[in-house]
Amino acid sequence: MVQKHHHRWLSRTLCLAIGSILAAGNLWAQSAPLTLKQAFEAAWSRQPEAQSLSERREAAEARRQSAESWTAEPPSLEVSAKTDQLNKNQGSREYVAGIALPLWLPGERSRTGALADAESRATASRALGAQLRTAATVREAWWAWQRARIEKGLAQERLNGARQLAADVVRRVKAGDLARSDQHQADGAAAAAEVALAEANTALATATQQLRALTGVAPSSQGADVSAAGEPAPAVPADFAALDTSHPAVIELLNRAEVARRGAELAEVQTRANPELTLATTRDRGMFGDPYQQTVTVGIRFPFGSESRNRAKAGLARAEAIEAEGQLRLERERLIADLEAARVRVESAQQQLTAADKRAQLARQSRGFFEKSFRLGESDLPTRLRIELEAAEGERQAARARIDLAAAVSLLRQTLGLLPE
């Protein structure tokens, strides 16, 4: 009995411990900041291409195995019986059992295997291309959310400073140091800061919902800073030709063109239906009392070709090959232009960040000077409000410049065909 109670107590303790661990894990998942890589992985898991990828791989493997078989189609079994039992009933009997083997046309088997291999590679590259397209959408939504989050934080800081200044002005108005009109100006600046915060909250809510629609996860507004949220800067190749073997968009179109070419080559040899080799055995007798005779039949069936059907099939395959090769050429040209534009954008964003940081630093120093002079009565309130507005705008421009640089690096990685890290 004691041992039974001991096992029951141990089971209850283990259940409570597991429940606590799961609850702690859920709490951590809710409180941990979302990263760009996690957002991409969550968005990719929701894509139809990701959910159907395993089935497409199995279908490609099945086509490859079918191309390795010895017959063009599965063999078929034929069984028949003939009797005169329903009319003369003289004992005539005939039983036939045979098998039909569809044969490959000359060159059809090797070209079918080549097409199956090309389709298998195309299935893998299609998934990589879909991942890259998903990454582009996630990156765009991610940096829009980061901008909105930074804007909201700056608007909150501006409102806090405006309220503190308004409270200071109220005290000085009561003391007779400032006029009532100064209080109205300070209150107006605080009201304008409230409007800006409300607009920032709306923009942040919109960006959050857009990111949530992609990932299925609501990101925390207390996310990581820009330096942690950004991606590492990639190495830009001197020659884009090297990307033909690594860029998912180019590889996807290359494999599509290869599939179309292999399909056209297969259509050139499939000028007719597959011939069939027939092997049959027959057991028959003429009437009652006659012994059964055994015979073997070997035959082959050659279907006639249809020129119009073959011409349509081959023409469609060649058209798809031409279309895929044309898309590949246009995609290469577009990627070269996008790569150069993304590289220039990163350089420009770096220059803008340097200038914005310098402006923000000068604006902070000026704000400190005028804040001190305003307390000493050496400067008026309109000047103080202008300096505060300039300092807030400088901080905002610097923060946006940091976001723009991180987004430019992310776009450069996207152009190079790199997934989020």
Asked whether 229 and 35 are in contact (CB, 8 A), the reply is yes
Helix (H) or strand (E) holding 413: helix 381-415
Task: State the virtual CA torsion across 109, 110, 114, 120 in degrees, nearest 10.
Answer: 40
Strand 276-285: give its sheet, edge to edge: 76-83, 93-102, 276-285, 293-301
Residue 119: is it exposed, middle or buried by C-beta count within 10 angstroms (0-12/13-18/19+)?
Answer: buried
Choose among 253, 245, 261, 259: nearest CA to 330: 253
Cα four-point dihedral sign 163, 168, 174, 176: negative
Tell me the pairing of strands 276-285 and 76-83: unpaired
Choose among 416, 406, 420: nearest CA to 238: 416
Q: Could you give phi then psi for residue 311, rounded to 5 degrees?
A: -65, -40
Distance CA 421, CA 417 (A): 12
The per-residue pLDDT for 319 is 86
The per-residue pLDDT for 335 is 85
The per-residue pLDDT for 7 is 43
The per-residue pLDDT for 130 is 92
Residue at token pair 């402006």: 359
pTM as predicted: 0.76
The per-residue pLDDT for 104 is 87
Distance CA 243, CA 249 (A): 10
Cα four-point dihedral sign 40, 41, 42, 46: positive
Asked whether 125 and 255 are in contact (CB, 8 A), the reply is yes
Asked whether 49 and 126 are in contact (CB, 8 A), the reply is yes
Distance CA 145, CA 209 (A): 9
Tens of each residue's pLDDT in the chain, 421 residues: 434 444 444 444 434 343 433 333 443 344 457 888 899 999 999 988 888 888 888 888 888 888 888 888 888 898 998 888 788 888 888 899 999 999 888 888 888 888 888 888 888 888 999 999 999 999 999 999 999 998 898 888 888 888 888 887 888 788 777 778 878 888 888 898 899 999 999 999 999 999 999 988 878 766 555 555 678 888 877 766 666 677 888 888 888 888 888 888 888 888 888 888 899 999 888 788 788 888 898 988 888 766 666 777 778 888 888 888 888 888 888 888 888 888 899 999 899 888 988 888 888 887 777 677 777 666 677 777 787 778 888 888 888 889 999 999 999 999 888 889 8
Distance CA 335, CA 411 (A): 12
Residue at token pair 């297969």: 266
Q: At what angle do helices 53-67 and 108-174 cross, to 10 degrees?
A: 170
Asked whether 211 and 219 are in contact (CB, 8 A), the reply is yes
Asked whether 326 and 364 are in contact (CB, 8 A), the reply is no
Tokens for 35, please give them: 């990263």
